[in-house]
Every structure is written in C-alpha cells, then in structure tokens.
Amino acid sequence: MNAIKETHFHFPKQTAFYKGKVRDVYTIDNKYLAMVVTDRISAFDVVLPEPIPYKGQVLNQIAAKFLRDTSDIVPNWVVSVPDPSVTIGRICEPFKVEMVIRGYLAGHAWREYNSGKRQVCGVSLPEGLKENDKLPAPIITPTTKASVGHDEDISKEQILERGIVSAEDYAQLEKYTHALYQRGTEIAAKRGLILVDTKYEFGKADGKIYLIDEIHTPDSSRYFYKEGYEERQKNDEPQKQLSKEFVRKWLIENGFQGKDGQVVPEMTKDIVGSISDRYIELFEQITGESFVKSDNDSVLNRVEGAINKALTTL
C-alpha cells in the first residue's frame, strides 16, 4: 500500500520546512503553514520504521472535524483542508506549554499517584483513588513543549514565575481548555465514549489566541468505552480503551519501550495492515462517520497537487 513516509516538496514562496515525528510542515510566505500529516507512527518518542497507510488521513480528518465543531469556543488556525492528509493554516507563535486536561486518573497521572505522589503539576489529588477513577473535577496538568527530548510536567505557578506565559494569557488558556474538554466530553458521550484525558496546544497571532495542531484524535487523547465502565471499575478490571495504546502494548510485548539498546520489532505487512485497520476503526468510532479511503495510487503527487492548488487561493 502506498503510504506517506516523508515528503520533499518545494512550493512557491516556501520559506522554511520542518519535519516532526509525524508531520511535515511547510512555511509559506512566512504567513501560512501547509501541514502534511504523514503516515509515520511514533511510540515511546521513537518514530517506527514502517508508515501506516491511511493513519495520516485518519488523524487529519478527525482533527479537522473537531476543530470545526469547537470553532464557536475558540478560533483555530485552520484556513483550509485541501486534501485528506493536509491542513493549511495561519502561522501562530506557539505557547511553550501543552495544556493537558484530565477527567480520570489514568496514564502518567496514575503512575505518579501510584508512586505515592498526591500532587501532579501542582494540583492536589485526594487519597483513596484507584486507576481510571473519575476525578472530582477535571484538572489541568500542563507540560513544557520540548523542541528536543521529552516534554516535562510543570505547574501553573512555575509557568507564571518563569514568565513562560503571562498571567492574563494563561487564564484564557485555562478557560479555553476547560470549555474544549467539556465539548469533547459531550461529543464522546454521544458516541458511547468517555474522553479520559487530552491535550491542547495554543498559539498567538496579531494579539489573538488560536487553537493549533490536532485535537481529540487517538494520538492526542485517551478514550474509554462508556458501556461497562462502572462495572470494570468496581471489579478492578482494566478499562476498554480507544487510543493508540494497542501499538504501545504490541511493542512492549515484543521487548521495546524506547530504551537504549532496544530494537523495534519487525513490522510485517500483517502488523502494518492490522494497525491501519485499527486506526480506521478509531476514526469511525470517534466520529460516527464511515471512513472513505483516499486515492493512494500516487499519494505524493495527489498531496503536492492539492497544496499547490490551495496556495493559489491564499
């Protein structure tokens, strides 16, 4: 199958290019970003050797849908989505923090709590909680936005003390984060899902705050299935998840957690195909829409042509 592993385009008025773990981002005229969501897949901060067909389309189209569905809460960076794997938007100066919000004690927050800590990112948590319990109220646990290496936990107080974000802007980011999570929770509930935790990134342009990057995708969010949640909690059973946790699980079972000296297990055609199928399932479960596979016969030509056409309208 023809997947987007990497791109090497050259567009009119292109002024920069950035290759992230998953995204290839082209700066146009220092005003716009043309973001190609490739089919690369990362886990444990490592980009795996084989791309996953349609993964980029899944992430881009979920993000596009939820950015549209939340545009009444906060303006976002999107100008157009000219291709299933491409978003073009305005350049914003990103805030150097990611706004992580949690409604349930899972993942990193649970690991911290289970190690004996009762504060996560400066937020106090009550005694007696179990893994995956619903929290008394959603909490914001920000992380630094590292350009290299791992993001790190940081508290609101540290953000303000270090001047990473102004007090006025941070208050607005908190307000937007809670409102977005509330909307995401309501949308998920209609799909029989629980939005466990997620992260939002914001930027500023012309003095205005915009929501940037992807939102509510399986790469940036954790979902539980609503049906059976209470019973599983009561019986101390693992929750049924909808996220890319299945990829991490496969890697762990095959001796890889991103540590020095470890080797990524062989990604056979069957493994790649099964991961692709799972991402398509995630799309349909999260959005409630049928997934329409894009034409991948000459995927790079398709993407390049769509961006070139879109740039003529800017």
145 contacts: CB under 8 Å, gap ≥ 6: 94, 95, 96, 97, 98, 151, 201
Domain 94-242 in this protein, CATH class: alpha beta
- For the domain bounded by 14-93+272-311, which CATH number is listed? 3.30.200.20
DSSP one-letter code for 76: B
Kindly state the tokens that stand for 210: 């915009």
Show the low-confidence residues of the chain (pLDDT under 50): none
Spans of all domains in the chain: 14-93+272-311, 94-242
Q: Which residue reads 């150097």 in tokens?
A: 96
Identity of residue 289: E
Identity of residue 244: K
Model confidence pLDDT, tens digit, residues 76-112 = 999 999 999 999 999 999 999 999 999 999 988 999 9
Mean pLDDT of the chain: 95
Model confidence pLDDT, tens digit, residues 169-184 = 999 999 999 999 999 9
pTM (predicted TM-score): 0.91
- Residues 90/307, Cβ–Cβ less than 8 Å: no
249 contacts: CB under 8 Å, gap ≥ 6: none
Q: Residues 287, 292, 298, CA angle at the centre, nearest 5°?
A: 135
- Residues 36/85, Cβ–Cβ less than 8 Å: yes
